[in-house]
Amino acid sequence: MFKRLRNLLFGSLRRQLIIGVALTITAVMALFMWGAIERQRALLLERQSEYAVALAQSVATSSAGWLQARDFYGLQEIIYAQRRYPELVYAMILDLRGRIVAHSDPARLNQFVLDLPKIDAGGISYTPYIVSRGKDLVDALSPVVLSNHQIGWVRVGLGQQTLNARLAGITRDGLVFAAAAILIGSVLVGIMGWRLTRRLYVIRQASDAIQAGDSRRRARLDGVDEAAGLARAFDDMLDTLAARDQALRLATERLQVATRAGIIGIWDWDVVKRELIWDDVMCRLYGIRHDQFAGTYDAWLSRLHAEDRSRVDQNIQEALRGEREYGLEFRVVWPDGSIRYLKAASQTIRDQSGQPLRMVGINYDLTERKQAEAELEQHRHHLEQLVRERTEQLERARDTAESANRAKSVFLSNMSHELRTPLNAILGFAQLMERDQRLPADVHHNLETINRAGRHLLALINDVLDISRIEAGRTTVQNAEFDLNDTLTGIEEMIRLRAEHKGLSFSVEHSGQLPRYVYGDANHLRQVLINLLGNAVKYTEQGRISLRLTPGADSIRFEVSDSGPGIATNDLERIFQPFYQTESGVAKGEGTGLGLTISREYVRLMGGELHVQSELQHGSVFSFSLPLPEADVPLVESRQRRVLGLEPGHPAVRILVAEDNPDNQELIASLLASTGFEVRLAGNGRRAIEIFQDWQPHFIWMDMRMPVLDGYQATQAIRALPGGNEVKIVALTASAFHEDRAAILAVGCDDMLAKPIDETRLYLLMGDLLGLRYRYADQAVSASAPSKPGNASPADLTTLPEPLRAELQAAAELLDTDAVRTIVDGMLADYPQLARLIGEWMSDYRFEKIIELCRRPEEDQR
């Protein structure tokens, strides 16, 4: 009831306003009227009092004579005359004792009025006054004075009817006025309130609409007043809320989609109330319906795998204590007994004192991942097993391949040796016969064919040997300081000769200053350049060939160009393949198709790349850049000190040379004998053992490959004999490839030396192992020259200047009798003995000997 009344009165702002304004106007009007009436009443009372006093005084004045004369009748007349005043209540004249001598009400005559003021003897009062002023009556008293003596009193009572009537009128007017004011005020306030609340009402309506679900609704009030401002603020607030609401809804949606899609269950545990709330996904993850879950911690724990419970519980307790956040993997058991792997993660929410309030977290399924991991592990295991097996197979295959490769190397080395020797003879004699003018022309023609074919075969053998070395990975770079100038000069001379022979112009151009001494592999560089320039000469029929060198920073670019037939684009890469020859290459009938393969590998080994640019009919350019840093110290052959013999008074040194090759026997024997060693020779292993037993040599040069008993067996046998451990044995290896150094040392050799024999190394090895003291050429003035006429040592070939030696080697390799003869002729002045020696060998067509002895020792050790 009270509520309804309150709603009725204050339910709307407008009503409140109207009631408020009406009450205010009423209160103001009441106060105003009360004041006005009171003021009017006081004024009227005052006037009534003055009138009463004046009336009393006037009656006193008019009645004085009558009273003196005691004419009571006359006095009564005067009093009666006063009744004309409508408000007169009473009028009376009293004598000094207070007796009423005349009265408007004759019944009161002769009564006494006792409340008169006392008059002192002789005292007199002249001033009339009001005795009392009441609500209904004003009582005025005036003395009756005659000749300065008071003789009596006049008392007048005036009523208040007029006054009250006027006051009532005023009050009535006031009330009417107030009511009008309240009415007008209320109407005005009502209108104002309506205007005001109408705008607020719009906001209210918008608010109601939004509450009802119309989130797009806005108040949208125009104007600049507070209501419009409020509406704008309201709309802005709604916009902000809508945006936030939208973002929140999206985020919630995303979260829901993500958790559902990712099958992520969300749980919320109220630690204080001990309530555990799950979402739908959680129930799915545990394989139960919502109504099957009791919503407590224990109910959850009971669904975990028994083995995982205590671990999980411990983790949760630690999380509650704040030692860590809860998060681990565990297993749950579904009602059907199947086991699933879950992962949990959570955050603990705490109050200000750090006490845990809630724990909110997620669960997701790991079962498939676990299964995949297990499968992966199985596959990995299987794969490892496969890899192991495959590796073993590959290792076996590699071992087989390596041993096959070794066998191939040995075979090639043997074959090349075996092929070259008879080929030397065939070619030599064929060339000799070619000079025989007595033979008929057709025989000459046949001989030419034999020569050409033989040279081709020889080049093929050399190239095959090189390529096998490369393939076997036995070709390494032997870097050393060398005289670039010398090397280039040698090559230039050789090529110039051939070029001029064909009528081609040949030029060597340098751009910039070339370093004289550089650090690199002179031998490989020479071989590559000779091959490229050789090809240029070979394939160019007319025009020019050139070698251009461009120095760079620690490198040099080489460019071999010619004006030959050029190479077709589709052949450009193929020409580097082994045995590939272009049509013009095949047509030439020379070459092996291996030169470029070898060259490219050598350039790569030296740190460069061989490129070709060519176009049919427009010549070819082969180019490569090599790192060739300038060297401070040139390699000088004086590094090797020439041994003249043992020091005077040196005890005798017995050397056994076990070697089946007579040339080598002879070479070593003559070297050793010339320097004062005692030497004996053995042609096979068995003979070596016999001589060892008889003669007890200090040192044995043991060829590893000999008939009857080879070097390995002989060494082992000697080591087993008395004194066999004291003797020094050094293996001589003839193969183009290294024999297995480890195997050689294992049978008891102290060291090894590769053939062809390098004199300096020969002396060094013996000196080191036996502790010998030598006499050297640069210290012994009286020593005889090493190459006196008729006594030239084969090893002296290594003392020839590098370019000359290279030229000789190249000519010998090509079995080019004419070229060798030209070189030998040129040598006659400076190296007469060597020239004669080579001449002799050439007469016997022992080119191989020339080649072997021209090779620098390190070259053969590769």
Q: How far is the CB of 525 from ligand ADP (least distance, A)?
A: 16
Task: Collapse the DSSP code of 202 into the 3-class scheme (helix H, G, I; strand E, B; otherwise coil) and give the result.
Answer: helix
Measured from the Cβ of residue 146, the count of other Cβ atoms closer than 10 Å reads 15
Q: Residue 56 in contact with residue 156, Cβ under 8 Å?
A: yes
Compute the distance between CA of residue 618 and CA of residue 515 in angstroms, rounded to an integer: 32
Please tell me whether residue 592 binds ligand ADP under the rule CB under 6 A.
yes
Q: Map the footprint of ligand ADP across residues 546-565, applying CB under 6 A.
A: 562, 564-565
Binding region for ligand ADP (CB under 6 A) out of 86-94, 582-590, 738-746, 750-758: 582-590
CA atoms within 13 A on the CB side of 29: 20
Is the Cα torsion angle 683, 687, 691, 697 positive or negative in sign? Answer: positive
Per-residue tokens: 673? 């004998």
Nearest Cα residue to 338 out of 286, 264, 293: 286
* Eight-state DSSP code of residue 151: E
**H helices present in 262-326, as ranges:** 280-285, 297-301, 306-320
C-beta of 569 vs 843, nearer to ligand ADP: 569
Please tell me whether residue 344 binds ligand ADP under the rule CB under 6 A.
no
Is the Cα torsion angle 462, 464, 467, 468 positive or negative in sign? Answer: negative
Task: Collapse the DSSP code of 424 into the 3-class scheme (helix H, G, I; strand E, B; otherwise coil) and give the result.
Answer: helix
Binding region for ligand ADP (CB under 6 A) out of 116-124, 587-595, 725-733, 796-804: 587-595
Q: By CB under 6 A, how many residues form the interface with ligand ADP?
A: 20
Q: How far is the CB of 603 from ligand ADP (least distance, A)?
A: 13
C-beta of 148 vs 617, nearer to ligand ADP: 617
Q: How far is the CB of 515 from ligand ADP (least distance, A)?
A: 28
Q: How far is the CB of 461 from ligand ADP (least distance, A)?
A: 13
Nearby residues of 569 by Cβ (< 8 Å), 6 or more positions away = 615
Query: Tokens 């190239």 identify what position?
Result: 463
Binding region for ligand ADP (CB under 6 A) out of 142-150, 499-507, 575-583, 810-818: 575-583
From 157, 551, 593, 685, residue interacting with ligand ADP (rule: CB under 6 A)? 593
C-beta of 600 vs 855, nearer to ligand ADP: 600
Per-residue tokens: 201? 């009402």
When CB distances to ligand ADP are compared, the closest residue is 585
Kindly tell me the burial class for residue 831, based on how many C-beta atoms sit within 10 Å of its own C-beta (0-12, 13-18, 19 or more): buried
Q: How far is the CB of 467 from ligand ADP (least distance, A)?
A: 10
Compute the distance between CA of residue 475 and CA of residue 852 in angstroms, rounded to an integer: 18
* Eight-state DSSP code of residue 7: H
The kind and range of the H/E element at 493 are helix 484-502
**Beta-sheet pairing, 654-658 with 620-627:** unpaired
**Beta-sheet pairing, 149-159 with 517-520:** unpaired
Instruction: Write the interaction track for ligand ADP spanning residues 514-553; mark x where CB under 6 A is met and - where it is not.
Output: ---------------------xx--x--------------
Please tell me whether residue 664 binds ligand ADP under the rule CB under 6 A.
no
Q: How far is the CB of 597 from ligand ADP (least distance, A)?
A: 6
Q: Residue 566 in contact with residue 616, Cβ under 8 Å?
A: yes
C-beta of 464 vs 682, nearer to ligand ADP: 464
Nearby residues of 647 by Cβ (< 8 Å), 6 or more positions away = 773, 774, 775
Compute the distance between CA of residue 46 and CA of residue 133 in angstroms, rounded to an integer: 9
Q: Map the footprint of ligand ADP across residues 695-734, applying CB under 6 A.
A: none
C-beta of 562 vs 759, nearer to ligand ADP: 562
From 468, 479, 563, 582, residue interacting with ligand ADP (rule: CB under 6 A)? 582
Q: Map the footprint of ligand ADP across residues 809-828, applying CB under 6 A.
A: none
Please tell me whether residue 596 binds ligand ADP under the rule CB under 6 A.
yes
Q: How far is the CB of 804 from ligand ADP (least distance, A)?
A: 25
Compute the distance between CA of residue 169 and CA of residue 405 in angstroms, rounded to an integer: 148
- Strand arrangement, sheet containing 678-682: 678-682, 654-658, 699-703, 728-733, 751-754
Compute the distance between CA of residue 128 and CA of residue 56 in angstroms, rounded to an integer: 7
C-beta of 174 vs 578, nearer to ligand ADP: 578
C-beta of 541 vs 818, nearer to ligand ADP: 541
Per-residue tokens: 731? 């293996």
Compute the distance between CA of residue 643 and CA of residue 762 in angstroms, rounded to an integer: 10
Bridge partner list, 401: none
Q: Residue 510 in contact with residue 485, Cβ under 8 Å?
A: no
Binding region for ligand ADP (CB under 6 A) out of 72-80, 82-90, 194-202, 586-594: 586-594
Q: How far is the CB of 473 from ligand ADP (least distance, A)?
A: 21
Compute the distance between CA of residue 155 and CA of residue 778 in angstroms, rounded to an integer: 185
Binding region for ligand ADP (CB under 6 A) out of 233-241, 414-422, 594-602, 809-817: 594-602
Q: How far is the CB of 593 from ligand ADP (least distance, A)?
A: 4
Alpha-carbon separation of residue 632 from 4, 480, 482 (angstroms): 118, 11, 10
C-beta of 593 vs 748, nearer to ligand ADP: 593
Q: Map the footprint of ligand ADP across residues 152-191, applying CB under 6 A.
A: none
Binding region for ligand ADP (CB under 6 A) out of 280-288, 482-490, 591-599, 658-666: 591-599
Q: Residue 750 in contact with residue 732, Cβ under 8 Å?
A: no
CA atoms within 13 A on the CB side of 561: 14
* Eight-state DSSP code of residue 106: G
Please tell me whether residue 620 binds ligand ADP under the rule CB under 6 A.
yes
Q: How far is the CB of 802 from ligand ADP (least distance, A)?
A: 24
From 16, 62, 584, 696, residue interacting with ligand ADP (rule: CB under 6 A)? 584
C-beta of 315 vs 535, nearer to ligand ADP: 535
Q: How far is the CB of 452 from ligand ADP (least distance, A)?
A: 14
Instruction: Write the interaction track for ligand ADP spanning residues 423-462; mark x where CB under 6 A is met and - where it is not.
Output: ----------------------------------------
Q: How far is the CB of 484 from ligand ADP (least distance, A)?
A: 23
The kind and range of the H/E element at 261 are helix 226-261
Please tell me whether residue 623 binds ligand ADP under the rule CB under 6 A.
no
Q: How far is the CB of 568 from ligand ADP (least distance, A)?
A: 10
Please tell me whether residue 504 binds ligand ADP under the rule CB under 6 A.
no
From 428, 595, 748, 857, residue interacting with ligand ADP (rule: CB under 6 A)? 595
Binding region for ligand ADP (CB under 6 A) out of 280-288, 374-382, 581-589, 677-685: 581-589
Binding positions for ligand ADP, rule: CB under 6 A: 535-536, 539, 562, 564-565, 567, 575, 581-582, 584-585, 591-597, 620
